[in-house]
Amino acid sequence: MDMRLPPEATGPSAWTRVEMEQDQSWVFQLSDEDLDELEKATTALYNRGVSPLEFRQKDFPLPSLGPKISSLLHEIEYGRGFVLMRGLNVADYALDKLSVLYWGLGTYLGQTISQNSQGDLLGHVKDMEGGKYTQGGYYEEGVRGHRTNALLAPHTDSSDLVGLMCVRPAKKGGESWIASSMSVYNRIRVTRPELLEPLLNGFHYDLIGKGRTAVELSNNRIPVYSWFDGLLSCRFNKQQIELGAQRAQEPLTQAQQEAIDLVENLAVSEDFLLPMTFEPGDIQLLNNHTTMHSRGRFVDWDEEEKRRLLLRLWVNIPNGRALAPEYADRLNTGGRGGVTKRL
């Protein structure tokens, strides 16, 4: 084995499906006191006509829940890498008031960054363009996967943390699947160490409209696995890697293709894939550097008011892990930069 390879990933972020099924301490149940604090803080702002994006943490006091969120954030950054908050009754809130609540909670997570070329900071994950989707082309005609009902392959988002609040689940399907990218690395390191070299060297990504212009490649090769300042981090989107190679007219080598295929296959294997079925009010928080996430295809309701809807935040964690420059600049907007607003 090449001794220059990063060491085995250790600690709670390197977990397996069985371990998480046996120990579900990753589910955080909101207490009556927590819910009361959220209700009071939300109502105070909502009644004054204050909208999301217009207030900060100091305007949304959570004297008891706030310190708990800090502990959860530490678990997400340095522990297992994910948390599922449960217990919020979304039926008690109209969507605009619920958005105030979720934005307020997000102010305790870190700095929210832009998710798309419209500059959205509080995104809606909903099937709005499923009719344009064709098999194997999530981004054809400018369509992003989260705006369809399609199966989404394992990937990471362009932020330290992604938060999803379930407002309404689908009629059928749409399960959330997550995997430890650290455990995937460990398996490759043992079974196919020769494939780590292309993963560590990285790839030019097709930014599929998330760059400074509509058609753009990442300036730098972004490593799938990056070892920096004593921490291993993962950035992965197989389709954007393949589209990047096509756009650059630099076909992937056999080893490169094998390597990214292996990452994807392991992330959805029985050993590593942890399924979650969202209930209304569930809030999933994921560390993009240590977990990958995917989603099952779903069938939605005909009635608009019942259709599947998640609220999404992309957040950079305060004083988050150090990232190598070539890894941190994922969207040609500098280290930890969000999507350029163009539209």
Give tens-digit pLDDT for 307-343: 999 999 999 999 999 999 999 999 999 999 999 998 8
Domain assignment present for 343: no
pLDDT for position 134? 47
Q: What is the 3-state secondary structure (H, E, C) of the chain?
A: CCCCCCCCCCCCCCCCHHHHHHCCCCEEECCHHHHHHHHHHHHHHHHCCCCCCCCCHHHCCCCCHHHHHHHHHHHHHHCCCEEEEECCCHHHCCHHHHHHHHHHHHCCCCEECCCCCCCCCCEEECCCCHHHCECCECCHHHCCHHHCCCCEEEECCCCCEEEEEEEECCCEECCEEEEEHHHHHHHHHHHCHHHHHHHHHCECCECCCCCCCCCCECCCCECCEEEECCEEEECCEHHHHHHHHHHCCCCCCHHHHHHHHHHHHHHCCCCCCEEECCCCCCEEEEECCCEEEEECCEECCCCHHHCCEEEEEEEECCCCCCCCHHHHCCCCCCCCCCCCCCC
Q: What are phi and psi of 27, to 5 degrees?
A: -90, 120
Tell which wins on pLDDT, 248 or 147. Answer: 248
pLDDT at 138 over 80: no
Domain assignment present for 342: no
pLDDT at 202 over 50: yes
Domain assignment present for 150: yes
Indicate the pairing of strand 172-173 with strand 309-316.
unpaired
pLDDT at 130 over 90: no
Average pLDDT over residues 209-235: 95
pLDDT for position 46? 98
Domain assignment present for 5: no
Tell which wins on pLDDT, 127 or 65. Answer: 65
Give the pLDDT band of residue 209 (cuts 50, 70, 90).
Answer: confident
Domain assignment present for 9: no
Q: Angle at the Cα of 184 (from 179 to 185), degrees rounded to 5?
A: 135
Give tens-digit pLDDT for 49-60: 999 999 999 999
151: left (phi over 0), alpha (psi -120 to 50) or beta: beta
Place of tokens 């499906």: 17
Tell which wins on pLDDT, 195 or 209. Answer: 195
pLDDT at 6 over 80: yes
Q: What percent of the chain has pLDDT over 70?
A: 93
Domain assignment present for 1: no
Q: Which of 136-140, 181-185, 263-267, 336-340 has the lowest mean pLDDT?
A: 136-140
Average pLDDT over residues 209-223: 93
**CATH code assigned at 150:** 3.60.130.10
Domain count of the fold of the chain: 1
Beta-bridged to residue 27, according to DSSP, are 84
Domain assignment present for 156: yes
pLDDT at 99 over 70: yes
Domain assignment present for 80: yes
Give the pLDDT band of residue 143 (cuts 50, 70, 90).
Answer: low
Segments forming the whole domain that contains residue 245? 17-328
